[in-house]
Chains A and B, each alone.
Chain A
Amino acid sequence: MTRPPIASPTRHLADLEAEAITLFRECVRPDAKTVLMYSVGKDSSVLLHLARKAFYPAPLPFPLLHVDTGWKFREMYEFRDRTVAALGADLLVHVNEEGLRAGVGPFSHGSAIHTDVMKTEGLKQALDRHGFDLVIGGARRDEERSRAKERIFSVRQPGHRWDPKAQRPELWSLFNLGRLPGQTMRIFPLSNWTEADVWRYILHEGIDVVPLYLAKERPVVRRHGQLILAEDARLPLEPGETPALMKVRFRTLGCWPLTAAVESDAATLAEVVLETLAARMSERQGRLIDHDGAGSMERKKQEGYF
């Protein structure tokens, strides 16, 4: 008999679930405007599922916000619209119109500018436009080194700036939601989850995720060692490049030109869980913006990237 790769997760997941539900319930306050960031990825699917549990039988007491860069995978848009309709949730979609008019995109402007304008700026615009005070997101502490110290309730200064020196000590589960004028908060109910926890929970609860997470034959090109999906005609092919069919899936989903696929045979959720547990590459490896330089994620956070 082989040993299980990790300890039985059921009680552990139940504990994480109860913690996250409690965090969601902290975010409904008479004096605050709350929004749930919905990025369509697996963490967002888990967040939605938890939020529904937290407020049942009431409908979600806040809207969802999707900051659309215009370069998400087609299957993500389809999944988003299907999910929101089934839930009867209130979805706000924001696109940085100025960026759109200026034709900003990952190929023409490079990943850094594209992400900055369409994602970071777009997010700030959307938050300012609606005046949200409490912004719930799916970031986890295990994702990246600079996140290991992030608070669950993280204060943002006016202009959405994250000041690592100005974070409040967080003891027990006593959260301080006090805000000075102009300050807002980001709340991360999945702070204490790992990638493996997320997948096991998805499997355990039967949560629907974008099919791109499951392996399938897809047209890809190999570029700088990364597999990029030939999603549509916007992909400028370099000389000698022809998309080839490969069995691939995605561990993380963002803008398709900036998100690399991995070769995989994991075509079911159960196989994905097993593959995740045995994985030797961290999921951020598929996010091309992280490689812009050491500490780049930390810099992006200070500027307001989620």
Chain B
Amino acid sequence: MTGEPALRFITCGSVDDGKSTLIGRMLYDSAQIFEDQLAALTADSRVHGTQGDRPDLALLVDGLQAEREQGITIDVAYRFFATPRRHFIVADCPGHEQYTRNMATGASTAKLAVILVDARKGLLTQTYRHARIVALMGVKHLVLALNKMDLVAYDATVYARLTAAFQAFAAELGFTRVTAIPLSALEGDNVTAPSGRMAWYGGPTLLGHLEAVEVEGPAAEGAFRLPVQWVNRPSHDFRGYAGRIAAGRVRPGDAVRLLPSGATTRVARLVSPAGDLPEARAGDAVMLTLEDERDVSRGDVLVAADAPCQVADQFEASLVWLSENALVPGRSYRARIHTKAANASVTQLRWRLDVNTGAKLAAKTLDLNEIAEVTLSFDQPIAFEPYAACPDLGAFILVDRQTEETVGAGMIRYALRRADNVHWQALSVDAAARSAALGQTPRCIWLTGLSGAGKSTIASLLEQRLHAEGRHTYVLDGDNVRHGLNRDLGFTPEDRVENIRRVAEVARLMVDAGLVVIVSFISPYQAERDWARSLFAPGRFVEVYVDTPFDVCAERDPKGLYAKAKRGELPNFTGLDSAYEPPATPDVTLDTTALAAEACVERLLRHLGDLA
């Protein structure tokens, strides 16, 4: 095959550094602008432009109408152009609020970054910030585009000073190469053609450099890695495994190992509609078959048998927060790493990176556009590579269970401990045996509702009734847990999450032991309740919404807490200055304004049916 894949690069700059003008100029000069677009541009330029009668090239790349009216770009835009030497895909990243989220997005697929600097203003906080973010995302090639040289009289000393200062700063960021180019996007100097006005500059033009720079492709030389994306079973006699090769090469007959299981076999065929292939390599989307029947599913990784990658469930990682809802340490998020779906939670925030200064700061949570070093715990073993060695096997995203939004993006640095060191004891007495011995079906009955809603009353009545029927029960509530096991926790959102996590884990052990556990906790967040449910086998977890309106609770006020809270003596009080998310789809709703406590328990017992 000839040629090479397109060079994917990112451009970043602050407002008005001339980024749009620069990209517009590259598209224009490489003849990617069609005549009708140019006509539209000329018309637009009179309305929105800043260049009088000259066409404003910046308008070529401004996107959505709302943004154009405000004269800003606020999202990553992708542009395409080609020259006789190379194809290019540009991720154009605005420098406004949300800058980190946008830059991380653009940089995640980029091999090179162009950072714009206004030569008059010199290196600004933003310049350092942009360089740190692209370095963090693993971009190895950097171009410092010193723009608006026309406004500093094409002065060689400005270029020399800024270049030296930047090189000194960037030395520790681990770039393979930093190239500084003096240019004027507006006048076209050193963009696609060398500038006669900067004869003192001996280096390449921006486009010349982009055409020539050698970047790393997918690692065809490394050991074979294929995350399984899809299992193809059209009939009984064909079972293919599809995916895009992350590293190395593969040929029929190669010995491969399946991770996490560790099973080994050999590759039988590389199937394609045009006939079987003799070889495939990093970057190819393949469909292969194995010599032996193996239990392979999406998320498994096929690796060279003699050079497997690691498997672990606890990691040190960098995490970029992408959501307006802050990170809640301890909360379980959906995670996606290569083709694998799992659950993961941040177990520790080691430090937060100040992207402007590079300082490491203490942090309790992470807000939108913040970056931190964290420890991360998955609920199952994951085959992976450190991001620096193989981005395809070391990058992950986190998704909020409630909103389904992508809230975090991260890069694994290394494993904290190998999952293969932890072996669950294969116990001969199992949950089924224990529940049989007790003669009951264990359950977790989870009562949620506001303080004073009546949870404890219902829990205690329910336990009496079950006990009278000969059931083995236990009630977990704030009183017996907060005074002991959770003595160290307060009422901040983070502590509330941890509180529920521990209670749910204890309830799980008790259900495993065969008990009917009644949990009576405010448990204000749906995410934690959903997570708690996920710990149990289907049907074993019963979410009960004790539905009492705030005003009624405040009036009943059995413990005098509402009165205190209203006087401001109880900060973070649920329903007042701390949120309560009512269950969206509870298994049972008990309306205590309509039913007395005894009647509520009757309802519940009917729902539970026969526990024997």
Chain A residues proximal to chain B, CB less than 8 Å:
3-12, 14-19, 21-22, 25-26, 28, 52-59, 141-142, 145-146, 148-149, 164, 167-176, 178-180, 183, 191-192, 194, 196, 279-282, 284-285, 294-295, 298-299
Contact = CB atoms under 8 A, between A and B. Distances in A.
B234 to A, nearest CB: 4
A25 B76 CA distance: 25
B434 interface: no
A7 B84 contact: yes
B85 interface: yes
Given A6-B83, A12-B87, A282 B34 contact: yes
Nearest to B109: A172
Contacts of A174: 336-338, 395-397, 409
A298 B80 contact: no
A169 B244 contact: no
Contacts of A22: 229, 243-244, 285
A15 B84 CA distance: 18
B186 interface: no
Interface residues of B, number: 72
Given A12-B87, A22-B229, A171 B104 contact: yes
A192 B89 contact: yes
A281 B64 contact: no
A10 B1 contact: yes
A52 B238 CA distance: 16
Nearest to A55: B232
A10 B395 contact: no
Nearest to A5: B84
Given A56-B272, A56-B273, A57-B238, A170 B244 contact: no
Contact of A168 (B35, B230, B336, B406): B406
A281 B283 CA distance: 34
Given A141-B80, A148-B78, A191-B78, A280 B5 contact: no
A294 B84 contact: no
A28 B409 CA distance: 24
Given A15-B283, A18-B284, A281 B34 contact: yes
B87 A7 contact: yes
Given A18-B284, A176-B404, A191-B78, A171 B34 contact: no
Nearest to A15: B5
Contacts of A12: 3-6, 87
A169 B409 contact: yes
B397 A58 contact: no
Contacts of A17: 285
Given A7-B4, A170-B406, 20 more contacts: A7-B85, A7-B86, A11-B3, A14-B5, A19-B285, A22-B243, A54-B242, A56-B272, A145-B62, A145-B64, A146-B64, A148-B61, A169-B104, A172-B109, A172-B391, A176-B406, A178-B404, A183-B404, A279-B34, A285-B34
Contacts of A26: 229
A26 B238 CA distance: 20
Given A7-B87, A8-B2, A56-B271, A192 B36 contact: no
Contact of A295 (B65, B108, B240, B409): B65
B457 to A, nearest CB: 34
B44 interface: yes
B3 A180 contact: no
Nearest to A9: B3
B3 A170 contact: no
A169 B337 CA distance: 16
A57 B395 contact: no
B36 A3 contact: no
B22 to A, nearest CB: 16
B79 A148 contact: yes
A279 B35 CA distance: 9
A176 B397 contact: yes
A18 B95 CA distance: 32
B87 A3 contact: no
A53 B275 CA distance: 11
B63 interface: yes
B37 interface: yes
A243 to B, nearest CB: 25
Contacts of A167: 75
A230 B409 CA distance: 54
B76 A149 contact: yes
Nearest to B62: A145
Contacts of A16: 6
A50 B34 CA distance: 28
A174 B83 CA distance: 30
Contacts of A298: 64-65
A204 to B, nearest CB: 11
B543 interface: no
A11 B4 contact: yes
B78 A6 contact: no
A190 to B, nearest CB: 12
Given A7-B85, A294-B65, A54 B285 contact: yes
A169 B63 contact: no
B43 to A, nearest CB: 9
Contact of B65 (A5, A146, A169): A146
Contact of B399 (A4, A146, A178): A178
Given A52-B273, A141-B78, A194-B80, A10 B406 contact: no
Nearest to B65: A295
10 contacts: A6-B82, A6-B84, A18-B285, A25-B229, A145-B63, A149-B63, A149-B76, A171-B108, A192-B80, A281-B35
Nearest to B85: A7
Interface in B52-102: 61-66, 68, 75-80, 82-87, 89, 92, 101-102
Contacts of B85: 7
A111 to B, nearest CB: 17
B406 A149 contact: no
A170 B80 contact: no
Contacts of B75: 149, 164, 167
Given A146-B64, A171-B105, A298-B64, A180 B403 contact: yes
B84 A3 contact: yes
B322 interface: yes
B287 interface: yes
B405 interface: yes
A280 B77 CA distance: 23
B105 A169 contact: yes
Contact of A11 (B2, B397, B409): B2
B370 interface: no
Given A6-B84, A56-B273, A172 B108 contact: yes
B34 A280 contact: yes
B392 interface: yes
Contacts of B350: none
Nearest to A286: B36
Contacts of B337: 174
B334 interface: yes
Nearest to A4: B84
Nearest to B335: A174
Contact of B2 (A10, A19, A179, A282): A10
Most buried by A among B102, B285, B404, B405: B285
List the 3 closest pairs (A to B, CB-CB), nearest first: A178-B404, A8-B3, A295-B65
Interface string B371-400: 000000000000000000001100111010
B101 A169 contact: yes
A164 B322 CA distance: 16
Contacts of B287: 56
B234 A11 contact: no
Contacts of B399: 176, 178
A231 to B, nearest CB: 24
Contacts of B240: 57
B107 to A, nearest CB: 9
A58 B232 contact: yes
A172 B397 CA distance: 9
Contacts of A52: 273
Contacts of A19: 285
Nearest to B6: A12
Contact of A149 (B77, B283, B405): B77
